Protein backbone atom coordinates (compact mmCIF):
# COMPACT_ATOMS: atom_id res chain seq x y z
CA UNK A 1 0.00 0.00 0.00
CA UNK A 2 2.79 2.43 0.85
CA UNK A 3 4.33 1.80 -2.55
CA UNK A 4 1.03 2.83 -4.16
CA UNK A 5 0.90 6.03 -2.08
CA UNK A 6 4.52 6.85 -2.96
CA UNK A 7 3.93 6.21 -6.67
CA UNK A 8 0.82 8.41 -6.64
CA UNK A 9 2.68 11.28 -4.99
CA UNK A 10 5.70 10.76 -7.25
CA UNK A 11 3.68 10.83 -10.48
CA UNK A 12 1.66 13.84 -9.32
CA UNK A 13 4.90 15.67 -8.59
CA UNK A 14 6.59 14.58 -11.82
CA UNK A 15 4.66 17.07 -13.93
CA UNK A 16 5.01 20.77 -13.36
CA UNK A 17 3.65 24.11 -14.44
CA UNK A 18 3.58 24.40 -18.23
CA UNK A 19 5.58 21.16 -18.50
CA UNK A 20 8.95 22.85 -17.97
CA UNK A 21 11.59 20.33 -17.01
CA UNK A 22 13.59 22.70 -14.79
CA UNK A 23 10.64 23.53 -12.51
CA UNK A 24 9.55 20.45 -10.60
CA UNK A 25 7.64 19.65 -7.48
CA UNK A 26 8.99 17.00 -5.21
CA UNK A 27 6.83 14.44 -3.42
CA UNK A 28 7.25 16.35 -0.16
CA UNK A 29 5.98 19.57 -1.79
CA UNK A 30 2.87 17.77 -3.03
CA UNK A 31 2.27 16.15 0.37
CA UNK A 32 2.59 19.50 2.16
CA UNK A 33 0.18 21.12 -0.32
CA UNK A 34 -2.37 18.33 0.29
CA UNK A 35 -2.08 18.82 4.05
CA UNK A 36 -2.55 22.58 3.62
CA UNK A 37 -5.69 21.98 1.52
CA UNK A 38 -7.13 19.66 4.16
CA UNK A 39 -6.34 21.91 7.12
CA UNK A 40 -7.58 25.10 5.48
CA UNK A 41 -10.83 23.47 4.37
CA UNK A 42 -11.56 22.11 7.86
CA UNK A 43 -10.67 25.38 9.60
CA UNK A 44 -12.76 27.51 7.25
CA UNK A 45 -15.66 25.05 7.57
CA UNK A 46 -15.50 25.40 11.35
CA UNK A 47 -15.37 29.20 11.03
CA UNK A 48 -18.50 29.00 8.85
CA UNK A 49 -20.12 27.08 11.74
CA UNK A 50 -20.40 23.70 10.07
CA UNK A 51 -20.53 20.95 12.69
CA UNK A 52 -17.37 18.91 13.18
CA UNK A 53 -19.26 15.61 12.80
CA UNK A 54 -22.65 14.86 11.21
CA UNK A 55 -25.67 14.07 13.36
CA UNK A 56 -26.15 10.58 14.77
CA UNK A 57 -26.51 7.89 13.51
CA UNK A 58 -23.39 8.60 11.49
CA UNK A 59 -23.94 5.77 9.07
CA UNK A 60 -27.27 7.06 7.74
CA UNK A 61 -26.63 10.76 8.11
CA UNK A 62 -26.72 12.94 5.02
CA UNK A 63 -25.68 16.06 6.90
CA UNK A 64 -22.57 17.91 5.82
CA UNK A 65 -19.82 18.50 8.35
CA UNK A 66 -16.32 19.90 8.59
CA UNK A 67 -14.68 16.47 8.38
CA UNK A 68 -16.81 15.04 5.59
CA UNK A 69 -17.14 15.94 2.65
CA UNK A 70 -15.22 19.23 2.95
CA UNK A 71 -11.59 17.95 2.88
CA UNK A 72 -12.50 15.23 0.38
CA UNK A 73 -13.75 17.84 -2.08
CA UNK A 74 -10.66 19.99 -1.43
CA UNK A 75 -8.13 17.24 -2.14
CA UNK A 76 -10.13 16.07 -5.16
CA UNK A 77 -10.16 19.49 -6.79
CA UNK A 78 -6.51 20.07 -5.87
CA UNK A 79 -5.61 16.72 -7.45
CA UNK A 80 -7.25 17.82 -10.68
CA UNK A 81 -5.08 20.94 -10.72
CA UNK A 82 -1.96 18.86 -10.08
CA UNK A 83 -2.80 16.46 -12.89
CA UNK A 84 -3.27 19.45 -15.21
CA UNK A 85 0.23 20.61 -14.16
CA UNK A 86 -1.01 23.88 -12.69
CA UNK A 87 0.45 24.75 -9.30
CA UNK A 88 0.25 28.56 -9.24
CA UNK A 89 2.87 30.01 -6.87
CA UNK A 90 4.85 28.74 -3.88
CA UNK A 91 4.80 25.12 -5.08
CA UNK A 92 1.02 24.89 -4.97
CA UNK A 93 0.55 25.94 -1.35
CA UNK A 94 -1.36 29.12 -2.25
CA UNK A 95 -3.52 27.18 -4.69
CA UNK A 96 -4.19 24.57 -1.98
CA UNK A 97 -5.27 27.29 0.45
CA UNK A 98 -7.58 28.90 -2.14
CA UNK A 99 -9.13 25.53 -2.97
CA UNK A 100 -9.57 24.79 0.74
CA UNK A 101 -11.46 28.04 1.23
CA UNK A 102 -13.63 27.53 -1.85
CA UNK A 103 -14.45 23.93 -0.95
CA UNK A 104 -15.62 24.96 2.53
CA UNK A 105 -17.80 27.70 1.00
CA UNK A 106 -19.18 25.20 -1.52
CA UNK A 107 -20.08 22.68 1.18
CA UNK A 108 -21.70 25.33 3.36
CA UNK A 109 -23.80 27.09 0.74
CA UNK A 110 -24.12 25.00 -2.44
CA UNK A 111 -23.69 21.34 -1.52
CA UNK A 112 -27.39 20.68 -0.82
CA UNK A 113 -28.40 22.26 -4.13
CA UNK A 114 -25.92 20.25 -6.19
CA UNK A 115 -26.36 16.98 -4.25
CA UNK A 116 -29.88 16.92 -2.74
CA UNK A 117 -30.74 14.60 0.13
CA UNK A 118 -32.53 11.36 -0.81
CA UNK A 119 -36.29 11.08 -0.50
CA UNK A 120 -37.86 9.32 2.47
CA UNK A 121 -39.12 5.86 1.47
CA UNK A 122 -42.41 6.18 3.37
CA UNK A 123 -43.61 9.73 2.87
CA UNK A 124 -41.84 10.75 -0.32
CA UNK A 125 -40.32 13.79 1.39
CA UNK A 126 -36.76 14.79 2.03
CA UNK A 127 -35.08 13.20 5.03
CA UNK A 128 -34.49 15.75 7.77
Averaged pLDDT for residues 101-111: 95
What is the per-residue pLDDT for 47? 96
What is the per-residue pLDDT for 90? 83
What is the per-residue pLDDT for 89? 82
Write down the domain spans for the chain. 2-113
DSSP 63-76: --BTTTBHHHHHHH
Give the closest residue to 71 by CA, choosing from 100, 30, 93: 100
What is the per-residue pLDDT for 61? 72
What is the per-residue pLDDT for 22? 45
19 pLDDT tier (thresholds 50, 70, 90): very low
pTM for the structure as a whole? 0.75
Cα-to-chain-centroid distance, residue 76: 5
Amino acid sequence: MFDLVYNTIFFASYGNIFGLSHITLGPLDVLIAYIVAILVSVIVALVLRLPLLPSKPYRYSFDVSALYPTPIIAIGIFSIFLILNYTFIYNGIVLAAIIGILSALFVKYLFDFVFPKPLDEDGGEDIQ
